[in-house]
Structure 1
């Protein structure tokens, strides 16, 4: 097809075997149309066999499509033109739906902002609604490992398209052994040299939510968009914040059905095992069958029963069962307070989590730990590192630069579903520091498996007000006799750059500038450091 400015875009088209008129399912992606997101979805030929014309298109400047690729820059106009073109294909009913995850989820949002009349529904999975808060940064900290690896991947594809074998080989090697030790670690020379036009440089040089991010983010253009949407996420997906950001907004204002499904998955693949945990047969990817029901409902006008089901479906880790809700759970969050004898960085039994009724007599205490940039606390699983998921972090919790607070063995199952936060009173001896909070389940055999975490960069010492860390939303059952644990550290490397303690931004921080940081966590008395947990009462 030709865009409005005369650029030729190429697509593969899959059709049902039988003649007739069919709705169109469209995916627009930058990784080569033959892949067609089969890392998580069924092959387009399967969707075609369900009675749809399926269009998988290379976006501008990627794959076989012509033009220059610039991240997200032309997806509104090109998305509008593509939907109009797809709606007029031979055999098309004129109704178009879109599906896809990650970049392919973003192209749905951009196309929808232009309001092409033929676009009737979308199924965005794992997206950034606000690109600053949902994708590039978390808690003000640059999401280094994901941003860097993605930038190298896209740069390598550009080198391949230009038949630059030397650049491709160098980038291919760098992707599999990330350059983490350059003079300025967050800004490696390989990207400066081989990908000077990469989005990475802009993202690194815009560390605050300024006009650059407003111009780039779908959220800026989405206020008047309304249609049925199926929102798909994963508890260990790095972009879950974006999925929920969009869902919550649409659920609050939409005149159409908004459905949400979150499984126990990382960004890819979507299966029963993530990290070191097998979540059972119920966790096997249900999305292809669900999307056909969704498209049958809204593109073919069939009653598939979807509208009779509760619109929020969350996989509860621990019980390994799907739980349904009328809306995103917003129950009043209940606190677990931190308590310590001052040795929570040295002993498992020193730092405790106590309930409200026990906190009245919680004496003031403080735990001091020292962050050494030479040996930063490593990332392990969660949503921000690769590979994602739950892992046994017993060895990390034994480090003296990690403070841990653990509840007594639970007397009954603890069901958690919704938004999680940690409020910590702390002081530091440097102008800037980072704080990573990880929640884990401690099993009766002593193993410790993470299930949610959060991260924040702090640019000033906090002496009185608590520091709030928003953790990844979750849905988790902690079994009776197991324990809940909070782990705090000043790094999660290389998911985020090591904070040098100087107040300098990652784009200007040399490796040699990083300093030792001493952090004091205060609890008890007038310092009610706490976890705020959305505790649910399970339905019988």
Structure 2
């Protein structure tokens, strides 16, 4: 039979009044006939008329499946009124919009939310306020704690993300709104912003100290400077973080992440938090989907590797695309059609290396176990006891190790994803610890972290750890990485634990133990491959450079060379912990 013809009605700029009187505007997509229908809502700062949200879910397609779809410009962005301050108004505005959407003509009072990144975070901020009409949500590649991959990671600032996001994505609309009644002034100001964007897109613009001197054409993004001046223990982050509030969320959740996404760690922490909530309440458990993806790229080619078309968001394990999974989930949670998910395991993760999807009942996978690999003399990574004299290198902030792919959200010239780290491994400030060739396939599927015993000549410095899959042809493909700022070590005491406290300098020459959280991965190291751990002190411009002086890079440009020593002996057993599963 030919497909059924369906008519969709699109209403542009539908107003919604928030509790403080500010009007926010939405595009509403509705089936022309029938109803009432559940509502699918997304709230974003990138323009409701710019179809970036269709990466996850096309409104017209959702309409055809019996949903009303609402796409809203958040406060201070594009058509909506008010002033934009990132995340500051999304709690109240999110709550008010959910309840407004539930009462739209043709709506049946049930609301689900969807969207990725910023508009994944707007879901959480709405959900913790307990809007009664919000029944389910699909937060994709997003975060809850700004200190774990959004503003900072391990105490280091996410310079590459924050600055490029602000200048290339947020600043243009602010400029156009500011001078919409003065086209001549706009014509004078626009070239300065375009020049800053072009510089970033070409791979420049980050090498500025102090950070507060980063170009901000016409003062469009003051929140960037303010963020770099806030430490780990600044109370501002507590206002925005979702940690400690997941118990308020009554919506059923589907979490979507990527092994090379900058918010992977938070995606997994959110899943764990909602799993605990569901177990305590005896309600439906959350679902989890993790592909080999980078931030916003759900294709099969990520960096220098292609994982096969079945890994992509357009053909998930040859069982439909991301939109199809969304609609199945909403059919089950908003329409009561539980059979829509009957053939899908609660947890689906793509395992790189073997390049196939695996299904589990929960995460981490049942039966997973931790295995410890020790750093040892001669640059070896071994299951045997550590030995050897400490290794040493010098870290110069004026010549940092360049960022090569990985879990980054930066201009495309940096090429996120699976990248060969060989060029960096030739540098004297990068230490490599490598296993013997593996006799059998070795599957890592779960948390990855490093216990590092190190000393520095500086009162503060950074340590970066990177897990690498060394192929028989010599390619050294980065799998996962992490960083710890020495002065922030007490704020990140264990993998997955964030406990903000005042910075604490280190004593030069004294050995300290650091826990570096590499979050997690899904990768099978094939027989004949080798496992490698890189240790260094920078990845620039992803993370801001530690000046090695104890002074803040937001206010100082003075640098010193740090003399670093990495210990691996019975008293200082530096190690890599991998979570492994069978076959």
TM-score category, normalised to shorter length: over 0.9
The equivalences for 1:391-470 within 5 A come to 391-459=419-487, 460-461=506-507, 463-470=510-517
- The 8 Å contact of residues 44 and 118 in structure 2, kept in 1 or not, is answered as yes
1:72 equivalent to 2:87? Answer yes
Query: What is the match of residue 128 of structure 2?
Result: 113
Query: What is the match of residue 232 of structure 2?
Result: 208
- The 8 Å contact of residues 288 and 347 in structure 2, kept in 1 or not, is answered as yes
Task: Find the aligned partners of 2:464 and 2:188 in 1 and give their Cα distance.
Answer: 39
Query: What is the match of residue 215 of structure 2?
Result: 190
Task: Find the aligned partners of 1:189 and 1:383 in 2 and give their Cα distance.
Answer: 23
- The 8 Å contact of residues 17 and 49 in structure 1, kept in 2 or not, is answered as no
- The 8 Å contact of residues 255 and 271 in structure 2, kept in 1 or not, is answered as yes
Task: Find the aligned partners of 1:110 and 1:38 in 2 and give their Cα distance.
Answer: 18
Q: Secondary structure at the match of 2:380?
A: strand
Task: Find the aligned partners of 2:165 and 2:36 in 1 and give their Cα distance.
Answer: 39
The equivalences for 1:93-172 within 5 A come to 93-152=108-167, 153-163=169-179, 164-172=186-194
1:311 equivalent to 2:346? Answer yes
Task: Find the aligned partners of 2:261 and 2:310 in 1 and give their Cα distance.
Answer: 18
Task: Find the aligned partners of 2:221 and 2:335 in 1 and give their Cα distance.
Answer: 43
**Residue 333 of structure 2 is aligned with which of 295, 298, 306?**
298
Q: Give the aligned CA root-mean-square deviation in angstroms.
A: 1.8
Query: What is the match of residue 345 of structure 1?
Result: none
Task: Find the aligned partners of 2:525 and 2:344 in 1 and give their Cα distance.
Answer: 27
Encode CA deviations 1:186-221: one digit per residue, 9 max, x unaligned: 223522x62366322332121113321111223354
Task: Find the aligned partners of 1:114 and 1:168 in 2 and give their Cα distance.
Answer: 39
Tell me whether 465-474 or 89-98 shows the greater mean CA deviation. Answer: 465-474
Encode CA deviations 1:126-162: one digit per residue, 9 max, x unaligned: 2221122342110011111101111213122200222
Q: Secondary structure at the match of 1:85?
A: helix
Task: Find the aligned partners of 2:579 and 2:515 in 1 and give their Cα distance.
Answer: 16
5+ long unaligned stretches in structure 2: 1-15, 180-185, 314-320, 488-505
1:334 equivalent to 2:362? Answer no
5+ long unaligned stretches in structure 1: 342-350
Encode CA deviations 1:32-55: one digit per residue, 9 max, x unaligned: 101243462243212212211111
1:227 equivalent to 2:262? Answer no
1:47 equivalent to 2:62? Answer yes
Task: Find the aligned partners of 2:455 and 2:356 in 1 and give their Cα distance.
Answer: 41
1:473 equivalent to 2:520? Answer yes
1:282 Cα deviation after fit: 1.6
**Residue 173 of structure 1 is aligned with which of 195, 210, 213?**
195
- The 8 Å contact of residues 247 and 277 in structure 2, kept in 1 or not, is answered as no
Encode CA deviations 1:84-135: one digit per residue, 9 max, x unaligned: 1111111111111010011111111111122222111111112221122342
Q: Secondary structure at the match of 2:260?
A: coil
1:456 Cα deviation after fit: 1.1
> In the comparison of the two structures, how many residue pairs are matched?
521
Q: Secondary structure at the match of 1:507?
A: coil
Task: Find the aligned partners of 2:523 and 2:362 in 1 and give their Cα distance.
Answer: 17
Query: What is the match of residue 544 of structure 2?
Result: 497
Query: What is the match of residue 373 of structure 1?
Result: 397
What's the TM-score once normalised by structure 1's chain length? 0.92
- The 8 Å contact of residues 171 and 220 in structure 2, kept in 1 or not, is answered as no
**Residues 161, 258 of structure 1: CA spacing in aligned structure 2 closer, same or farther, 3 A cutoff?**
same
What's the TM-score once normalised by structure 2's chain length? 0.86
Query: What is the match of residue 246 of structure 1?
Result: 270
Q: Secondary structure at the match of 1:84?
A: helix
- The 8 Å contact of residues 369 and 579 in structure 2, kept in 1 or not, is answered as yes
- The 8 Å contact of residues 36 and 56 in structure 1, kept in 2 or not, is answered as no
Task: Find the aligned partners of 2:474 and 2:54 in 1 and give their Cα distance.
Answer: 35
Task: Find the aligned partners of 1:176 and 1:449 in 2 and give their Cα distance.
Answer: 29
1:526 equivalent to 2:565? Answer no
- The 8 Å contact of residues 130 and 250 in structure 2, kept in 1 or not, is answered as no
1:320 equivalent to 2:321? Answer no
Task: Find the aligned partners of 2:188 and 2:436 in 1 and give their Cα distance.
Answer: 58
**Residues 134, 495 of structure 1: CA spacing in aligned structure 2 closer, same or farther, 3 A cutoff?**
closer
- The 8 Å contact of residues 53 and 115 in structure 2, kept in 1 or not, is answered as no
Query: What is the match of residue 9 of structure 1?
Result: 24
Q: Secondary structure at the match of 1:13?
A: strand
Encode CA deviations 1:149-192: one digit per residue, 9 max, x unaligned: 112131222002223344433223223323223341x223522x
Task: Find the aligned partners of 1:385 and 1:104 in 2 and give their Cα distance.
Answer: 16
1:449 Cα deviation after fit: 0.6
Task: Find the aligned partners of 2:409 and 2:49 in 1 and give their Cα distance.
Answer: 28
Q: Secondary structure at the match of 1:131?
A: coil
**Residue 88 of structure 1 is aligned with which of 103, 109, 123?**
103
- The 8 Å contact of residues 41 and 69 in structure 2, kept in 1 or not, is answered as yes
**Residues 486, 166 of structure 1: CA spacing in aligned structure 2 closer, same or farther, 3 A cutoff?**
farther
**Residue 299 of structure 2 is aligned with which of 259, 265, 271?**
271
**Residue 516 of structure 1 is aligned with which of 561, 564, 578?**
561
